[in-house]
Structure 1
Amino acid sequence: MLAEAAGLSLPTVKRTELETVNVSTDAREKLRAALEAAGVEFIPENGGGPGVRLRHRETRLG
């Protein structure tokens, strides 16, 4: 669960999703770090707005 991975309560994560509610910078940073650790890559605006994508994993041939 994202809340657990970020060390936050579920209500804090839900408030962050609303975007209309003030959530601390610390909580937002924890959520971002948890998502990045799970393989999410945040990408900057490139004309179409900022976004996210899954990070490519290295394929290892054994």
Structure 2
Amino acid sequence: MSLTTVRRMEDSAIGPGRSSAENVSVVQKALEAAGVQFIPENGGGAGVRLAKPKG
């Protein structure tokens, strides 16, 4: 994925909603590999958290 694509996704006027599902998936997988957990909406809204270190 190019830096231009990531910058476009970060732009508040455009956002990830205008990106392809494949690009959003690539970013999500990279974040998950770095320890970010995506939390589904549970009445308080969706969110993210850092995973506890393994070991």
Q: TM-score, normalised by structure 1?
A: 0.72
Q: Provide structure 1 residue ranges, at least 5 long, that are not aligned to the other structure.
A: 1-7
* Equivalent of 1:47 in 17, 31, 43: 43
Larger radius of gyration between Structure 1 and Structure 2: 1
Greater RCO (CA < 8 Å, at least 6 residues apart): 1
Equivalent position SS for 2:10: helix
Q: Distance in 2 between matches of 1:53 and 1:38?
A: 11
Question: Aligned-pair distance for 1:14?
Answer: 1.4
Q: TM-score, normalised by structure 2?
A: 0.79
Aligned partner of 1:33 in structure 2 is: 29
Equivalent position SS for 2:43: coil
Q: Percent identity?
A: 50
**Where in structure 1 do 4 or more consecutive aligned residues deviate above 3 Å?**
none
Equivalent position SS for 1:53: strand
Match for 2:37: what amino acid?
Answer: E
Q: Distance in 2 between matches of 1:31 and 1:50?
A: 17
